[in-house]
Amino acid sequence: MNSYDVAIIGSGPGGYVAAIRCAQLGMKTAIIEKYSVLGGTCLNVGCIPSKALLDSSHHYEDAVKHFEEHGIEIPGEVKVNLEKMIARKQLVVDQTTGGIDFLMKKNKIDVYQGVGSFKDATHLVIKGDKEEEIEAKHTIIATGSKPSTLPFINIDKERVITSTEALKLKEVPKHLIIIGGGVIGLELGQVYKRLGAEVSVVEYMDRIIPTMDAGLSKELNKVLKKAKFKMNVSHKVKSVERVGDEVIVKADDKKGNEVVFKGDYCLVSVGRRPYTDGLNAEAAGVVLNDRGQVEVNEHLQTSASNIYAIGDVIKGAMLAHKAEEEGVFVAETIAGQKPHIDYNLIPGVVYTWPEVAAVGQTEEALKEAGVAYKVGQFPMRALGRARASMDIDGFVKVLADKNTDEILGVHMIGARAADMIAEAVVAMEYRASAEDVSRMSHAHPTFTEAIKEAALAATGDRALHV
Ligand code: FAD
Ligand code: NAD
């Protein structure tokens, strides 16, 4: 029987990064993945393919709607070849997952293909083409998550679909009904809206992206409505029925009136659930909580002291970069180091256009905690860079402590916000004040000037260009 210092179950961004860090620290490492392709949700049916389709559909929209005003004329009609678009997305996925195979080999990590389950706290059974058993001093559970649904919905994967199917549709829907106005619903909704679908979002809460700062929800809602998204917030879905090629969704609005939506596809994007099916966690003494997450302490250690868990399968944001940080954290903990993660500084991004990005506390959270804060906000449309590219929607908002001026949160919506948020993370990691950021030189013309201006505004109404 092969014996390892560390075995990792699951090869998503949590698992494969943990494996690399364990190997770097000199531990004999194995990774177990039930699918034949490494990379987990993120690389195969999550972050990477969704961004590939967002990019392709963005090019199409630019060609149809914006090239002309830039003085670019296309003789004839611009057409979508969805099959080719999906094939390019798959090529990007294949290249990216192939890169993980390379990294496993480079770091001398043994890869097992099959479903991993606990025999006991130090032995794992792997059921693939054949059944194997390995011994592991330490195990890291990185089994991720799967789409969740509502009890009365039958996901048939043809017309009533999750994000996984939405990434490989064979036709552009005529009318896509999206249940859940969160990250997946809006990103994939934008893909198909750009490609010509009518899109109706049905959201239970009173605003889209309800966990983010309300100012961001409001601005994104405005932009998407301008793009003819049909937004239905404060709607409680009560049935989803498929009749032939039609899907009928019934919901009650805020006043209790029934609203009926008829479309040809329905995307269910109401969140994801931790995935532990087939793991036999109890055999190792690993306890799950009432939300089905693997319960962990502050060292990400489960109730079995030699077993750790990371990523979507534990509490916290379901984000690839959070899973990666936790992978490194656990590898270093097992190696006897004392790593640290500041969960407050894990940024959240929605890759619509304009992009939405945030780090730290929202205004709502600061109000609730009774923290005295000040706000500096700067509109993208006041930037020369934004006017040059005609990306004028959005703003940057800096929240700073009223007494100390320390930055407590940065919330932005606009072109390239996904990349710009890194500046806010760095500033907050070093506990910068709004004045610190306002006195740093930002290249002109760039979108990042909006961060400096918002920091100036927070420092005492000192923004220069409004
Ligand atoms: P996963 O990536 O889910 O990987 C878990 C792996 O474990 C899977 O490969 C699974 O097959 C394997 N596994 C499970 N059980 C077993 C077992 N018993 N034996 C062997 N193998 C097993 N996050 C971002 O940060 N940015 C984004 O832009 C983004 N976009 C997304 C878009 C979509 C459409 C979706 C669905 C998700 C997106 N996410 C994004 C979320 C991101 O994909 C997850 O947070 C991330 O993949 C979690 O990583 P993980 O390693 O915890 O688990
Ligand atoms: P989400 O939590 O972002 O959004 C779910 C939405 O569904 C919420 O707005 C919620 O209020 C709504 N909802 C819940 N129950 C409902 C009901 N009964 N009727 C109507 N609406 C309902 O979840 P998601 O969009 O499914 O994404 C799943 C996870 O994947 C998220 O945790 C997210 O972090 C991750 N993800 C991240 C990215 C990114 O980082 N860009 C992209 C995609 C997915």
**What's the mean per-residue pLDDT of the chain?**
98
Domain boundary pick from 270, 285, 302: 270
- Asked whether residue 374 is assigned to any structural domain, the reply reads yes
Averaged over 436-441, what is the pLDDT?
98
pLDDT digits (tens, 9 = 90+) for 34-68: 999 999 999 999 999 999 999 999 999 999 999 99
Give the type of residue at 388: A
Instruction: Identify whether residues 139 and 15 lie together within a single domain.
Output: yes
User: Which pLDDT score, from 0 to 100, does residue 182 have?
Assistant: 98
Instruction: Identify whether residues 8 and 141 lie together within a single domain.
Output: yes
CATH label of the domain that carries residue 37: 3.50.50.60
Instruction: Identify whether residues 171 and 187 lie together within a single domain.
Output: yes
Question: Is residue 444 annotated as part of the catalytic site, yes or no?
Answer: yes
Region of 126 (left: φ > 0; alpha: ψ -120 to 50; beta: rest) is beta
User: Which pLDDT score, from 0 to 100, does residue 51 have?
Assistant: 98
Q: Are strands 110-113 and 29-33 parallel, antiparallel or unpaired?
A: parallel
Instruction: Identify whether residues 263 and 139 lie together within a single domain.
Output: no
What are 459's two structure tokens? 């420092």
- Asked whether residue 218 is assigned to any structural domain, the reply reads yes
Instruction: Identify whether residues 19 and 49 lie together within a single domain.
Output: yes
Averaged over 276-299, what is the pLDDT?
98
Which residue's CA is the closest to the ligand 1 atom numbered 22?
10
* Whole-prediction pTM: 0.98
Instruction: Identify whether residues 356 and 434 lie together within a single domain.
Output: yes
Query: Ligand 1 centroid vs 99 CA: distance in angstroms?
Result: 17
Helix and strand counts by DSSP (H, E) for the chain: 13, 22
Averaged over 94-108, what is the pLDDT?
98
Instruction: Identify whether residues 406 and 422 lie together within a single domain.
Output: yes
Residue 253 has pLDDT above 90, yes or no: yes
- Asked whether residue 151 is assigned to any structural domain, the reply reads no
- Asked whether residue 154 is assigned to any structural domain, the reply reads no
Residue 461's pLDDT band, with cuts at 50, 70 and 90, is confident
Instruction: Identify whether residues 361 and 289 lie together within a single domain.
Output: no
- Asked whether residue 54 is assigned to any structural domain, the reply reads yes
pLDDT digits (tens, 9 = 90+) for 392-424: 999 999 999 999 999 999 999 999 999 999 999
- Count CA atoms closer than 13 A to 138's CA, side-chain side: 24
Tell me the best of 20, 31, 35, 41 to mutate to test the pocket of ligand 1, counting ligand atoms within 8 Å of each CB and taking the most: 41
Q: How far apart are the first and last CA of the chain?
A: 69
Proportion of the chain above pLDDT 90, given as a percent: 99
Instruction: Identify whether residues 424 and 319 lie together within a single domain.
Output: no
Domain boundary pick from 229, 246, 270: 270
Residue 198 has pLDDT above 90, yes or no: yes
**Tally of structural domains, the chain:** 3
Instruction: Identify whether residues 261 and 376 lie together within a single domain.
Output: no
The range of the structural domain enclosing residue 107 comes to 2-146+273-341
Averaged over 375-402, what is the pLDDT?
98
State yes or no: cis peptide before 354, omega within 30 of 0.
yes
Interacting residues of 205 by C-beta distance below 8 A, sequence separation 6+: 181, 233, 234
pLDDT digits (tens, 9 = 90+) for 126-172: 999 999 999 999 999 999 999 999 999 999 999 999 999 999 999 99
Domain boundary pick from 270, 287, 319: 270
Q: What residues are in contact with ligand 2 under a 6 Å CB criterion?
A: 150, 179-185, 187, 202-205, 210, 237, 269-272, 317-319, 349-351
**251 and 259 in contact (C-beta within 8 Å)?**
yes
Proportion of the chain above pLDDT 70, given as a percent: 100
Which of 66-96 are b and which e, b meaning 16 or more Cβ less than 10 Å from the residue's Cβ?
eeeeeeeeeeeeeebebeebbeebeebbeeb
- Asked whether residue 465 is assigned to any structural domain, the reply reads no
Residue 329 has pLDDT above 90, yes or no: yes
Residue 179's pLDDT band, with cuts at 50, 70 and 90, is very high
How far is the C-alpha of 122 from the C-alpha of 324, rounded, in Å?
24
Residue 353's pLDDT band, with cuts at 50, 70 and 90, is very high
